[in-house]
Structure 1
Amino acid sequence: MSDDARISVPSDVPEISGTRLFDAPRALVFDAFAAPDRLARWFGPKGFSLTTQAFEFAPGGVWRFVMHGPDGRDYENKIVFREIQRPERIAYVHPGDDDADPVRKETTISFSQEGEKTRIDWRMRFPTLVERDRAEREYGVAIGLAENLDRLGDFVEESADPVFSTSRRFAVPRDLLWKALTEPERMAQWFGPKGVPVIASEMDFRPGGSYHYGLRAPDGGPMWGLFEYREIEAPTRITLIASFSDANRGLTRHPLSETWPLKVETTYVFTEKDGAGELTLVARPFEASAEEIATFAGALEALSNGWAGTFDELESYLVQG
């Protein structure tokens, strides 16, 4: 769940600001601002809808749109983007020119990661206190900002990236299970689907290190992958970013899906009970677009089947070892 918004209207500064913590990764929250189809689902106060006429999400780019109020009135808007630093910051200006909304203001939206959550600080600065107070009196800007953050919270919850999780208990101690995933010569004996042998296995097992591997696909061609290790807590937890790769460690798209997430955050958790090690895998899209998230969500059953086969290979290796 997202926290409630906190809105500030200081008496001595021509600003209106709001902050809210969202229970979602920063990339997902940032991407809510990056495309008109996503903005149409949440941008604006409660009861409003919008129609985009032009949109260029780049410094100097213009977003022209019409806000449709619940009272039937239309409000012309023009935004000019000044700064875009993905996924940390967006700055834009309402110039108040042409036939657009006459309210002039500069807006800065900052995105900061707090654990697995994201905080937005949304700050609007007006030329003078008089103009700020007029905008608040005529348009209810502070209430509108609170409602906007609420709608964004709803959108983020609806769009939160799906999570894949699977686990299996093995008839070996946790220490042996740990070694099977942290030593390249052991990984080469089992990693991958049945009938798809490992042809390369190069590992630098440390936070900031990587594992670059190659598999021989059924058609005889190579298929490369790359793990980038982020956190290692021996012998209980490994967090990494998994990607498809090439022979030179470059990131590539899934060979069968152009919309598969380029990066997948994967966590392995190792536990033990009565001498038997259990491995739990949790995976989710990382810094993914809405299209990539949707592709991942639609493939959960296929992931379950694929990892079941890979765990079968791991189990066979452990039994033979």
Structure 2
Amino acid sequence: MQHDTPTTKTLTLERTFHATPRELWDAWTEPEQYAKWLNPAPGHDLVIHEWDLRPGGKVRFDMPQPNGDLNPQTGVFHELEPEKRLVTGEPDKSFLLEATFEPVDDRRTRLVVNVTGIPPEYREPAIIGWNQCFDKLAGVLGRMQSDVVLVRTINAPRERVWQAWTDGDLLKQWYGPKGFTIPTVESDARVGGTYRYLMRSPDGQEFWGAGVYKELDSPERLVRTEAMTDPQGKVITHEEMPETTVSVTLEELDGKTRMTLRHSGLTKRGMEGATMGWHGAIEKLEKTVNEA
């Protein structure tokens, strides 16, 4: 939605996003996120050179175009009200961009953007460009990375739980969501070593995965990467399936083990599936270590 106010040379655009005010604020104020969506040109991110997030702080970036033009941009932050409102633009305020974040409910936020100082001949292209940016922003918000953290007390010694995480034969017995099987596992449990597995769903679909052991402090803590691969072991990554990190901490509790699992780098869309998958896998893990 857009509203044109010629008397004030202000263009107003609105869109409601499935995100909290904090998430939208971060997408506007964290340069890594901002660079991903502000350029309407498909497949082109901003190249940010300066980002001083404070009133009066400078911002400077290139907005690359498909024809190769860098399209350099400069400005300053005029006003910053965290999670509510920000204003950027030219130092003399001849061009201003105001963004406000209005909660709709606990998961949706209305973004209102007022752009002042656009020359008349650029107003229609600006409307098209901003809607393209909003589409990219929706994608960025949908891919914001989050962590799944699970804590479970397991009725087995810590050394046994450690073995279940590092021994290929034991991994084969429990890894993967409930109902999934692991026909093949290779595990080289040393720092820099790799693991690789084939996971089969109840309906017969097959998924290959692999990772690298980053930290191994037996029997207390391990950290490893996790990624999908093709059958030949080539990592498959894209925006909805990034490479992630799994860290596991094991604490001794009078013959039992408190296990804290953190799965980091998941997309927001991937969090729900990962949480359900880990709950099912941990149930199988408990059965595996108790049967030994």
- Smaller-chain TM-score bracket: 0.5 to 0.7
Pairing 1:282–2:283 present: no
Match of 2:286 in 1: 315
Instruction: State the SS of the aligned residue for 2:281.
Output: helix
Question: Aligned runs of 1:8-87 on 2, under 5 Å?
Answer: 31-32=32-33, 34-35=35-36, 37=38, 43=51, 46=55, 54-55=63-64, 62-65=70-73, 67=75, 68-69=89-90, 71-74=92-95
User: Is the contact between residue 208 and residue 228 of structure 1 (CA under 8 Å) also seen in structure 2?
Assistant: yes
Q: CA-atom RMSD, angstroms? A: 3.5
What TM-score do you get using the length of structure 1 for normalisation? 0.52
Describe the SS at the equivalent of 1:304.
Answer: helix
| Matched residue type, 2:202 | P
Q: 1:49 to 1:314 in 2, by over 3 A?
A: same
Query: Which residues in structure 2 correspond to 1:1-321 (within 5 Å)?
Result: 31-32=32-33, 34-35=35-36, 37=38, 43=51, 46=55, 54-55=63-64, 62-65=70-73, 67=75, 68-69=89-90, 71-74=92-95, 161-253=145-237, 259-285=239-265, 296-321=267-292
Quote the offset at 1:194 in angstroms: 1.8
Gaps of 5+ in 2: 1-29, 39-44, 76-88, 97-142
Equivalent pair of 2:177/2:276 in contact (CA under 8 Å) = no
Range moving further from structure 2, 224-233 or 46-55 = 46-55
The alpha carbon displacement at 1:199 in A equals 1.2
The percent identity for this pair of structures is: 24
| Cα-to-partner distance string for 1:156-214 (whole Å, 9 max, x where unaligned) | xxx98422211211111101101111110111111111221111111111111111000
Which residue does 2:7 correspond to in 1? Answer: none
Q: Deviations 1:114-136 (Å, cap 9, x if unpaired)?
A: xxxxxxxxxxxxxxxxxxxxxxx
Q: Is the 8 A contact 2:213 2:222 kept in 1?
A: yes
TM-score when scaled to structure 2? Answer: 0.57
Q: Which residues of structure 1 form unaligned runs of 5+?
A: 1-28, 76-158, 286-292
2:99 counterpart residue number:
none
User: How far apart are 1:269 and its partner, in Å?
Assistant: 0.7
- 2:278, 2:69 → 1: CA distance? 44
Q: 1:54–1:226: structure 2 CA closer, same or farther, 3 Å change rule?
A: same
In structure 1, give the amino acid aligned to 2:290. V
8 A Cα contact 2:59 2:74, kept in partner:
yes
Tell me by how many angstroms 1:314 deviates.
0.8
Mapped to 1, the partners of 2:224 and 2:31 lie a distance apart of 22
Query: For the structure 1 residues 221 and 209, does the alpha-carbon distance in structure 2 shift closer, same or farther, using more than 3 Å as the test?
Result: same
Q: Classify 1:268/1:53 alpha carbon distance in 2 versus 1 (closer, same or farther; 3 Å).
A: closer
Secondary structure of residue in 2 paired with 1:231: strand
Letter in 1 for 2:275: S
Aligned residues: 195
Contact preservation (8 Å) 2:151, 2:258: yes
